[in-house]
Amino acid sequence: MQTKGLVIVNTGDGKGKTTAALGIALRAWGHDMRVCVIQFLKNGNLRSGESRAAKKLGIEWHALGDGYTWSSRDIERSRAKALAAWQTAQEAIASERYDLVVLDEFTYLLHLDWLETGEVVAWLQEHRPPAMHVVITGRHAPAALVEMADLVTEMREVKHPYATRKQVAQPGIEF
């Protein structure tokens, strides 16, 4: 049985996009697959449960974002960091060293027009090794990305505790 790599997109405004990507990474790790995660939003200073877990597991993990970019005071710096992260992602994908590469919160680079969606899609079509799975998460996945992807799920918010009552983000659940 030959493995056909899938391009998977988790989008929508609900919870679970990154979390489901983590679940895939964990599953893949359980199968001794080689996994690389690149986070475009979070940075290395956030001591998240997922980055701690990845370190313990030996999953390669790059938190290369500039924090929550839309509230950035230096948008040019945020943009430069995001584009550098895309370069890291391109190297990881083209290297063929992984069975699974996760591009977490990548869609906002497309949504903000920091990258041209058509070029990203064309690049992935040309350079992704056929057996490699790539998981892309984030809101507002552009139509051309959805069109190219094999599996697309929209996480739709039905009920959110922070909308309905006072509740702070909690370790283990939110980060």
Residues that bind its own copies (CB under 8 A): 1, 3-4, 6, 8-12, 14-16, 18-31, 33, 48-54, 56-57, 99-100, 133, 146, 149-161, 164, 167-168, 170-173, 175
Closest approach, Cβ 128 to its own copies, in A, equals: 15
Token pair listed for 73: 């005071």
134: Cβ–Cβ under 8 A, 6 or more apart, which residues? 5, 6, 7, 8, 93, 100, 101, 102, 103, 124, 128
Closest approach, Cβ 73 to its own copies, in A, equals: 27
Closest approach, Cβ 168 to its own copies, in A, equals: 7
Which C-beta is closer to its own copies: that of 78 or that of 101? 101
Which C-beta is closer to its own copies: that of 45 or that of 164? 164
Give the whole-angstrom CA distance, residue 57 versus residue 80: 30
